[in-house]
Amino acid sequence: MIEIISSGVLSPGEGCSPKVCIVGSGPAGFYTAQQLIKARQDVEVDIYERLPVPFGLVRFGVAPDHPEVKNVINTFTQTARQSRCSFYGNVDVGTDVSVEELRQAYHAVVLSYGAEGNRTMGVPGEDLAGVHAAKDFVGWYNGLPSCRQLRPDLSSETAVILGQGNVALDVARVLLSPLDILKMTDITQPALEALAESQVRRVLIVGRRGPVQVACTVKEVREMVNLPNARPEMVGADFEGVAEALKDLPRPRKRLTELMLKTALEVPGEKEQQRRSEASHAWGFRFFRSPVEILADPERSRTAGIRLAVNRLEGSGEGARAVLTGEVEDVTCGLVISSIGYKSLPIDPSLPFDSRKAIVLNNMGRVQRAAGLYCSGWLKTGPTGVIATTMNNSFDTARSLVEDMDLGTLDVSVVKPGSQSVAALLEKRGVKPVTFSDWEKIDRVELSRGEAVGKPREKLSVTDHNGHRQEMAL
Amino acid sequence: MAAAAVRSSMGLTLRLSRALPDCSNCPFHRSNGCVSGVSNLQRRGSFDSFRTINRHLQTSKETLTVPLLFVFKGLYHGEEGRSNAEDPDDVVNVVYVDRSGQRIPVKAKVGDNVMYLAQRHGIELEGSCEASLACSTCHVYVNSSHFDKLAEPDEREDDMLDMAPMLQENSRLGCQIILKPELEGIELTLPKVTRNFYVDGHVPKPH
């Protein structure tokens, strides 16, 4: 078949193509890029990422024993390899180049940099040794450069996790999983070694409200129930009235609550009873408890326990509120992990930011009062949801942006320099971006190092500008 | 047609030389319980994925040693199901209803995976976890006359469906639906999950 190509068709890169810049290379950034490239044949997309490596929380947030969730990296890799998509790692937007400079270089800028901060408990003792934000603990076992030096103290028997979402359960599971399982995952070697020495035998997962209000989902609870060498220890009284409430619950909440009820109240069969009595580890939900203070061991100025206020519930369902009863309870523990939510930060003072919700103010992904500026992912809607949620959210933003281009709301007839001008700025500032094929070299090294030790990959400890130069010498 | 024959025979060659595992005899594959996604990688036929297959095989619970003899990067576009040319008994007609309500008829084959089938025909159904029951992005609604002809979902599929927005009684994960002759005429509707799909501002109500 002979294909006739009409002359006069502009090829991409010849001045007139709309150029979009995406800040952040996690699921939000990549799914936004994917849709933009699919929707318009003339769009060129550049993705900037602060770290030398892409993929954001898929790489640094998803638990090591959830490798299937990370398959989405293959989808993102296909996008990155498109000729109209370019990846620039090791570029810190806000420090190395400003949002304003990006807006001048590109027709549109999409902020997809997620939530790098934490919500804090706001209680005395929060900065004691032995207290960590879940985000940092997860970053530690997943090899996030800024968390490499965390050195969590795993020498006491009990760990208390505040928060009952899936991140809290991930942390519990990593603390209690048999080494034989962990050592076949992509958990980092230093974390594996620390966990091999861990004395932690009991993990309490504490929430302010009751069983019907937990933020985790059924798959993760099932994983806890089925965890080898670990038995559930729940407080039956916490489940008063829950069985009666089941029938009115929507299906997802119902299935989750049924599982928790069964685990808490049902007497298991003989085989399971024996398994539980032989288990050397234990885990349990503790409900109706809020942190009041982290208690210190005065001699060693580190965590010795946590004081919890006892709550009761007013109202029911999603809207139920925890109300203090005045009672408190002290729990001995040496490790406290607060898993009460991530938080986005404003990387540029010019961004219209809602500090309460910690999101950039927007309508359907269009940043308010800022033509040509968009947002997707957690920065747009807040830091909850799984990859599927972020995918839909990002597709929405992409549609808004494409609509604006199609309707002329966004003027793409003006020629913009795109990455050329940004590259010049970065060079002047001594910043050397990492390309996608640079990442693929790192990827191959990680895969082969992993293969040598029976793991899917052994993550390199890659850091920022300095670290990048060391790694590239490989 | 010639191209299809070449592709099929290459598939056979790759199997005979054990560069690809022959999934058809694996009990996991037959019961649609393959969590490593290897069999679905073949169906999807994207072959920058020998490395991916290797990685899948390493992360799956059963260990399969697959000697890789060649890298047929970009040459092999796997056709799932039978490798022979069309057998009318194998044909299953499917209709996808996309997110704008458009009906798209597709002539498929027994053994086709409904998610990868959609993707091959340019229908916007994502599969971020690659058919390993670790996400809900391939969520579809099945028409009532065919819904009961499907095998009961695995508990793990139900767990993932629980995460899908706009869950309905007739929701299933596309990656778990494998076509069989009884599914002739099945209609699969993509949920309208995004807020701004409609230019007129209509927002579909959650079910």
pLDDT, tens only, A141-190: 999 999 999 999 999 999 999 999 999 999 999 999 999 999 999 999 99
Distance from CA of A57 to the nearest CA of B (A): 14
pLDDT at residue B14 tops 90: no
Q: Which of A33, B117, A76, B133 is nearest to B125 (CA)?
A: B117
What is the arithmetic mean of pLDDT over A285-295? 98
Residue keyed to tokens 């050195």: A151
A381-392 pLDDT, tens digit each: 999 999 999 999
A306 against B31, higher pLDDT: A306
Look up the pTM and report it. Answer: 0.84
Judged by CB atoms closer than 8 Å, whether chains meet at A388 and B195 is answered as no
Model confidence at A474, pLDDT cuts 50, 70, 90, reads very low
Q: Who has greater pLDDT, A63 or B48? A: A63
- Chain A residues in contact with chain B using a Cβ-Cβ cutoff of 8 Å: 66-69, 71-72, 74-75, 77-78, 81, 217-219, 222, 251-252, 255-256, 364, 386-389, 391-392, 395-396, 399-400, 403, 447, 451, 456
Alpha helices by DSSP H, A246-343:
251-265, 270-278
Q: What average pLDDT score do residues B38-60 get? A: 44
| Interchain CB distance below 8 Å, B159 and A71 | no
- Which stretch of A32-41, A354-363, B71-80, B146-155 has the lowest confidence by average pLDDT? B71-80
Q: Degrees (nearest 5) of the Cα angle A256, B169, A226?
A: 25
- Residue A456 or residue B69, greater confidence: A456
Q: Among A301-310, A436-445, B15-24, where is mean pLDDT lowest?
A: B15-24
Residue B70 has pLDDT above 50, yes or no: no
Tell me the pLDDT band of A75, cut-offs 50, 70 and 90.
very high
Q: Is the pLDDT of residue A66 over 80?
A: yes
Interaxial angle between packed helices A218-225 and A166-176, expressed in degrees from 0 to 180 and rounded to the nearest 10? 20
Query: Is the pLDDT score of A9 beyond 80?
Result: no
Mean of the pLDDT values across residues B88-116?
95
pLDDT higher than 50, residue A376? yes
Mean pLDDT for A118-134 is 96
Q: Which residues of B touch A395 (CB under 8 A)?
A: 194
Percent of chain B whose pLDDT exceeds 70:
52
A97/chain B closest Cα distance in angstroms: 32
What does the alpha-carbon distance between residue A354 and residue A361 come to, in Å, rounded to a whole number?
Answer: 6
Strand blocks (E) in A335-458: 335-338, 342-343, 353-354, 359-360, 362-363, 366-367, 373-375
Asked if B137 is an interface residue toward chain A (Cβ–Cβ < 8 A), one would say yes
The answer to whether residue A397 scores a pLDDT higher than 60 is: yes
Q: Looking at the predicted structure, is the pLDDT value of residue B55 above 70?
A: no
pLDDT exceeds cutoff 60 at A302: yes
Give mean pLDDT, residues B21-40.
Answer: 54
A345 against B79, higher pLDDT = A345
Task: Band the pLDDT of B116: cuts 50, 70, 90.
Answer: very high
Residues in chain A: 474
pLDDT at B35: 52
**Which pLDDT band, with edges at 50, 70 and 90, does B89 fall under?**
confident
Contact A69 B134 (CB under 8 A): yes
**How large a percentage of chain A has pLDDT more than 70?**
94
**Contact predicate A37/A85, CB 8 Å:** yes
Q: What is the pLDDT of residues A188-222, one digit of tens each?
A: 999 999 999 999 999 999 999 999 999 999 999 99
**Max CA distance (Å), chain A:** 83
Is residue B156 less than 8 Å (CB to CB) from chain A? yes
Nearest Cα neighbor of A13 from A437, A419, A432 is A419
Give the model's pLDDT for residue A301.
82
- B interface mutation test: which of A74, A187, A445 has the most B CBs within 10 A? A74
Give CA–CA dist B71/B92, Å, rounded. Answer: 33
A340 labeled part of a ligand binding site: no
| Element spanning A174, H or E | helix A166-176
Q: Is the dihedral of CA A275, A281, A283, A289 positive or negative?
A: positive
Query: Average per-residue pLDDT in chain A?
Result: 93
Q: How confident is the model at residue A443 (pLDDT cuts 50, 70, 90)?
A: very high
Handedness of CA B149, B155, B156, B159 (dihedral sign): positive
Residues of B within 8 A of A387 (CB-CB) are 128, 135, 137
Which tops the pLDDT comparison, B123 or B22? B123
Could you count the other beta carbons within 10 Å of the beta carbon of residue B4?
A: 13
Does A324 score more than 80 pLDDT?
Answer: yes
Tokens 């409900």 -> residue: A287
Residue B57 pLDDT > 70, yes or no?
no
Contacts of A68 in chain B (CB under 8 A): 35, 37, 59, 129-130, 132-134
What does the alpha-carbon distance between residue A231 and residue A264 come to, in Å, rounded to a whole number? 11
Binning pLDDT at 50, 70 and 90, where does residue A277 land?
Answer: very high
Given a cut of 90, whether residue A72 has pLDDT beyond it is yes
Under a CB-based contact definition with an 8 Å cutoff, are residues B138 and B125 in contact?
yes
What are the tens digits of pLDDT across the range B184-199?
999 999 998 766 543 3
pLDDT of residue A372: 97
ipTM entry: 0.91
User: A388 vs B37: CB contact, 8 Å cut-off?
Assistant: no
pLDDT-based confidence at B2, cuts 50/70/90? low
Nearest chain A residue to B195 by CA distance is A396
Return the percentage of chain A with pLDDT > 90, whole number.
Answer: 91
**pLDDT of B150 above 60:** yes
User: From the candidates A71, A73, A384, which should be mutated to test the interface with B, based on the most B CB atoms within 10 A?
Assistant: A71
The two structure tokens encoding residue A392: 């839909």
The pLDDT value given to residue A16: 76
Kindly list the residues from chain B whose CB atom is less than 8 angstroms away from the CB atom of residue A75: 126, 128
Give the mean model confidence (pLDDT) for residues A425-448.
97
Our CA-based measurement puts residue A125 at a distance from the nearest CA of chain B, in whole angstroms, of 36
pLDDT given at position A126:
95
pLDDT category at B75 given cuts 50, 70, 90 is very low
B chain contacts of residue A74, beta-carbon cutoff 8 Å: 49, 52, 130
